[in-house]
Amino acid sequence: MKFLIIAAGQGSRLSQIGDSKPLIPLLGLPLIERTILTAQKCGFSEFCIVTGYNGPKVRDFLDKLAPRRNVKIKHVINEEWEKSNAVSVLKAKHAVGKENFLLVMADHLLDKEILQHLKSQPIKNNKVILAADFTTDLNPLIDIEDVTKVLVKKNRIVDIGKNIPDYNAYDTGAFLCSTAIFPAIEKSITNNDSSLSGAIKVLAQEKQASVFDIQGRFWLDIDDEAAMKKAQQQLIKQLTKTSDGPVSKYLNRPISTIITKFLLKTNITPNQISFFSFLMAMVGAGLLFFGNTTCLIISGVLVQIASIVDGCDGEIARLKYQESDFGAWFDACLDRYADAFIFFGLSYYAFVTGAGTWGWVIGFLAMIGSFMNSYTADKYDGLMKSKFSTRKTFRIGRDIRMFIVFIGAITNQVMFTLGFLALLTNIENIRRLCICSPSGNHKIS
């Protein structure tokens, strides 16, 4: 299935940000690249893109993007870009061929699940399906004056337009189309309506326009600077993970996202950030071997800063679509090495400041408990999700452990910190074993 993107308009309301709307950056990626990569995550690899205003510049960018992101792009040029968007769709008639295709606007952000579910909808050869948002009273992201409204009855579109009096849904700008869309556009144009809504009205009159309910999933039409700010806030909000512990959620993540916004303007990669965080933690661990209070406090501060920065690599990877299995594994390996040296340093500090052999013993218990926390985290999360999908889970994560190290260091309570972590982490491991113990068909091996 091909993926048709309309990127021909001028976008005058965003002209102060950039002279070509599809290329305006949103948190490190141009709008059109973000649209393409979202679709790629849903299994699309072939794209037809209609360009018009500032076309050569946009097409040059896309030609360079295609090999870099491993996608195929077919250009469609619309010299009549000043007309409504249905003209751009009609220009792509021969490019998309005779098969069904997905149609979106380059300036619409869409949750990938909307595209995944939309492309799997059963569709007849003479029909179009619109992804519709029925949360008309609950969606704070929508500009009610600008959004296209839809009246739906028995899953069929009855009316559509920006100024219709009665409506119960919004047009998200995503369509699953059969080739029936093209004669509908031609008919609408003969009736002096060159908008895509006009073509949908034609199909609606023939009872060939239906909807797919997006069920409150995220979407946003970026038409002006206010919408751009909403998009940034929403994408940053989505960086929070269900596995985030309280320290990560309420302290680390709010700070790391501020750092991430700055780093997105650079070419720094997620793996480079992972390594920088590791080096910072290693410096903090190294300071512990000096055995004095000042170095201990600085060490604790560096460990906490490294824990915060450690969140930036994943945030940038998700925002720039640079996630990889290697990146996740690389980050995890560096975290384990950093943890080992931090606990080794704390144990040495406890040893030389009077704890003697007990410093090594308690330090070892804290280290092995921390390592087992990390090792069992994925299994625990997976089993909790499968066995208790409606339960909000809680676990002791690295964010909590490093924050405890930070508090212990700045208060000069190293031995107490090691003892507390030894108890906390090992009790947590026992708790996980009890909760995730085999029962019925559930196995942990």
d(Cα 316, Cα 261) in Å, to the nearest integer?
9
pTM: 0.86
Domain that holds residue 400: 239-435
Whether residues 207 and 259 fall in one domain: no
Instruction: Give the pLDDT confidence score for residue 313 in this predicted structure.
Output: 95
| Average pLDDT rounded to a whole number, residues 124-132 | 89
- Local confidence band at 443 (pLDDT 50, 70, 90 cut-offs): very low
Same domain, 132 and 256: no
Question: What's the mean pLDDT in 348-353?
Answer: 96
Q: What are the pLDDT digits (tens) for 401-439? A: 999 999 999 999 999 999 999 999 999 888 888 877 765
Residues 260, 316: contact at Cβ < 8 Å? yes
**pLDDT in the model for residue 444:** 43
Do 105 and 155 lie in one domain? The reply is yes
Q: What is the pLDDT of residues 284-332, one digit of tens each?
A: 999 999 999 999 999 999 999 999 999 999 999 999 999 999 999 999 9
**DSSP for 299-352?**
HHHHHHHHHHHHHHHHHHHHHTT---HHHHHHHHHHHHHHHHHHHHHHHHHHII
Whether residue 327 sits in one domain with residue 191: no
Report the pLDDT value the prediction gives residue 441, as an integer from 0 to 100. Answer: 46
CATH code (residue 61): 3.90.550.10
Predicted local distance difference test score (pLDDT) of residue 79: 94
- For the stretch 39-97, pLDDT in tens is 999 999 999 999 999 999 999 999 999 999 999 999 999 999 998 899 999 999 999 98
- CA 54 to chain centroid: 29
* Number of domains forming the structure of the chain: 2
Q: Which of the four pLDDT bands, split at 50, 70 and 90, describes residue 343? A: very high
The bridge status of strand 169-177 relative to strand 149-153 is: antiparallel
Q: What is the pLDDT of residue 288?
A: 96
41 occurs within a structural domain: yes
| Residue 441 forms part of a structural domain | no
pLDDT of residue 37: 96
Domain assignment present for residue 413? The answer is yes
Residues 175, 128 share a domain: yes
pLDDT tens digits, residue range 211-250? 999 999 999 999 889 999 999 999 999 998 877 889 999 9
Q: What pLDDT, on a 0 to 100 scale, did the predictor assign at position 297?
A: 97
- 154 with 77, same domain: the answer is yes
Q: Residue 219: its pLDDT value, please? A: 95
Does residue 426 sit within a domain? yes
At which of 200, 230, 260 does a domain end? 230
Res. 385: pLDDT tops 90? no
Write the pLDDT tens digit of every residue in 352-383.
999 999 999 999 999 999 999 888 877 776 66
d(CA 358, CA 353) in angstroms, rounded, equals: 11
Residue-wise pLDDT for 183-206, tens only, equals 999 999 999 999 999 999 999 999
Could you tell me if 169 and 245 lie in one domain? no
pLDDT confidence tier of residue 391, bands split at 50, 70 and 90? low
pLDDT at residue 243 in the model: 76
| DSSP state letters, 88-126 | HHHHTHHHHTTS-EEEEETTEEE-HHHHHHHHTS---TT
Residue 300 lies in a domain: yes
Shared domain check, 254 and 190:
no
Residue 377 lies in a domain: yes
